């Protein structure tokens, strides 16, 4: 399949270029050129069968069937439990991967696919990424020990949680974690400056792994397909899917899954106080603005980059978008109250992001069966969850294992020339 830029439908590339470039040269985001209905060809109901069925139209021209099977086996080696809370409410737990968040689907897949593309091309490259916490861990874990790829992660010193820092700094080998004396915005600015620097571009073979890469969206279709197929086959239910949203990448992947024929009724986006999209659907006016800080911090996004994809998919027609997605905002107070009531009613511990989704499902669904995408394990937000629920949350093995590992990190000032020297020197080794 080919991929076009949201800013120019004549700008077309193959999957290898789309993934290695990350963003189109005109600043647009890559979109699949076609959505082929493949649901009828689904051969089994397990996660791997669904994954092979869904991935084939997107990467099948470039990778052989055996290569796709290998990518699926290597990338998706964890469960997606579907937990039923009541007659019409389910939670799909996407957080059983190595870093306990749904971003593992994208991180693992992209690392395996990029590595295979580079092998075919006989090339090496360096991934440079800025993280406010979660993305960096999923990227580091996915790319760890990949032969032809080095990863450099910038994070704001003292501004990620201790557990998040451990998830970045305990790998070593091809993963370099750099604590920057600055904010997340400073880190992101350093990354952007590096990509615009001609000398670095020429010598350092840089690429990105951020959430706008189509290589992260494609694998995220899989859990939508898996749970929709399961409910449809077992109970003839076409669920409405509620997605706790920040950058709107996750929900975009859900739209793709529906486009290729999977049995989904519609989507509801649940945001925290960063309510640019609910406001857009209500008023027709899209006003990106600086984000505000909330309890569900992985969704603190004031200018959701994937809205460009969603607008493109529906020909920039808000009324068409609203036929497929509605969107609601939830305050921190409501999030806390929902975490408490869900715990009391169902003995279920939801992390703050998932709770934003559950709140919307409980209040806004019209007598339809909802699946809420549970985006992170509650232990990732241990301090907040314990305070809100008054319970003790044990660390899952993925996190407790990190506590005994030595940390390796560099510290740099918020200075592009220092970063540039580091990247040029590392390249020569």
Ligand X SMILES: *Cc1c(COP(=O)(O)O)cnc(C)c1O
Nearest approach, Cβ of 230 to ligand X (angstroms)? 22
Is 103 a residue of the active site? yes
Task: Kindly report the backbone phi and psi dihedral angles of residue 3, in degrees, each rounded to the nearest multiple of 5, phi listed first.
Answer: -130, 135
Q: How many CB atoms lie within 10 A of CB 36?
A: 14
Nearest approach, Cβ of 306 to ligand X (angstroms)? 7
Q: For residue 270, how many C-alpha atoms fall within 13 Å in the half-sphere facing its CB?
A: 32
Nearer to ligand X, 115 or 250 (CB): 250
Nearer to ligand X, 53 or 164 (CB): 164
Nearer to ligand X, 22 or 206 (CB): 22
Nearest approach, Cβ of 297 to ligand X (angstroms)? 9
Name the CA dihedral angle for 154, 160, 162, 165, rounded to a multiple of 10 degrees.
-20
Annotated catalytic residue within 103, 157, 230, 382:
103
Q: 108: which residues sit within 8 A by CB, 6+ positions away?
A: 74, 75, 76, 97, 98, 138, 141, 142, 219
Nearer to ligand X, 146 or 353 (CB): 353
CB under 8 A, 24+ apart: contacts of 3-10: 3/30, 3/31, 3/32, 3/33, 3/214, 4/30, 4/31, 4/33, 5/29, 5/30, 5/31, 6/30, 6/31, 6/308, 6/309, 6/311, 6/312
Count of residues making up the chain: 429
Nearer to ligand X, 114 or 356 (CB): 356
Name the CA dihedral angle for 103, 137, 339, 299, rounded to a multiple of 10 degrees.
-60
Query: Binding residues for ligand X, per CB under 6 A?
Result: 101, 103, 134, 211, 244-250, 298-299, 353, 375-376
Nearest approach, Cβ of 325 to ligand X (angstroms)? 12
Task: Kindly report the backbone phi and psi dihedral angles of residue 49, in degrees, each rounded to the nearest multiple of 5, phi listed first.
Answer: -65, -45
Tell me which residues are annotated as active site: 103
């Amino acid at each position: 399949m080919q991929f076009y830029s949201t800013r120019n439908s004549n700008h077309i590339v193959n999957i290898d270029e789309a993934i290695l470039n990350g963003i189109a040269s005109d600043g647009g985001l890559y979109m699949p050129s076609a959505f082929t209905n493949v649901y009828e060809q689904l051969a089994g109901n397990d996660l791997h069968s669904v994954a092979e069925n869904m991935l084939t139209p997107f990467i099948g021209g470039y990778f052989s069937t055996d290569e796709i099977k290998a990518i699926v086996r290597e990338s998706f080696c964890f469960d997606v439990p579907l937990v039923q809370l009541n007659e019409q409410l389910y939670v799909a737990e996407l957080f059983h991967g190595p870093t306990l968040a749904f971003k593992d689907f994208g991180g693992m897949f992209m690392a395996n696919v990029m590595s295979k593309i580079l092998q075919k091309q006989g090339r090496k490259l360096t991934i440079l990424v800025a993280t406010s916490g979660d993305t960096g861990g999923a990227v580091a874990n996915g790319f760890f020990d990949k032969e032809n790829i080095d990863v450099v992660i910038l994070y704001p010193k003292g501004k990620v949680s201790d557990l998040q820092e451990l998830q970045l700094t305990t790998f070593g080998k091809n993963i370099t974690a750099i604590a920057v004396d600055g904010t997340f915005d400073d880190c992101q600015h350093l990354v952007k400056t590096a990509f615009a620097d001609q000398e670095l571009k020429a010598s350092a073979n840089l690429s990105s792994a951020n959430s706008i890469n189509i290589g992260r969206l494609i694998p995220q279709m899989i859990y939508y397909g898996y749970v929709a197929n399961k409910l449809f086959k077992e109970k003839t239910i076409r669920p409405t899917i509620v997605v706790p949203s920040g950058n709107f990448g996750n929900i975009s992947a859900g739209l793709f899954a529906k486009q290729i024929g999977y049995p989904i009724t519609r989507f509801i986006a649940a945001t925290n106080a960063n309510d640019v999209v609910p406001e857009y659907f209500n008023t027709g006016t899209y006003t990106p603005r600086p984000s505000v800080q909330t309890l569900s911090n992985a969704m603190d996004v004031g200018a959701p980059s994937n809205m460009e994809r969603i607008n493109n998919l529906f020909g920039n027609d808000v009324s068409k978008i609203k036929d497929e997605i509605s969107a609601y905002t939830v305050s921190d107070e409501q999030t806390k109250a929902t975490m408490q009531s869900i715990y009391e009613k169902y003995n279920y511990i939801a992390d703050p992001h998932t709770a934003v989704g559950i709140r919307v499902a409980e209040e806004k669904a019209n007598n339809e069966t909802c699946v809420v995408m549970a985006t992170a394990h509650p232990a990732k937000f241990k301090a907040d969850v314990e305070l809100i629920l008054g319970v003790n949350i044990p660390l899952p093995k993925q996190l407790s294992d990190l506590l005994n590992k030595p940390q390796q990190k560099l510290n740099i000032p918020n200075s592009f020339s220092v970063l540039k020297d580091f990247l040029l020197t590392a390249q020569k080794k």
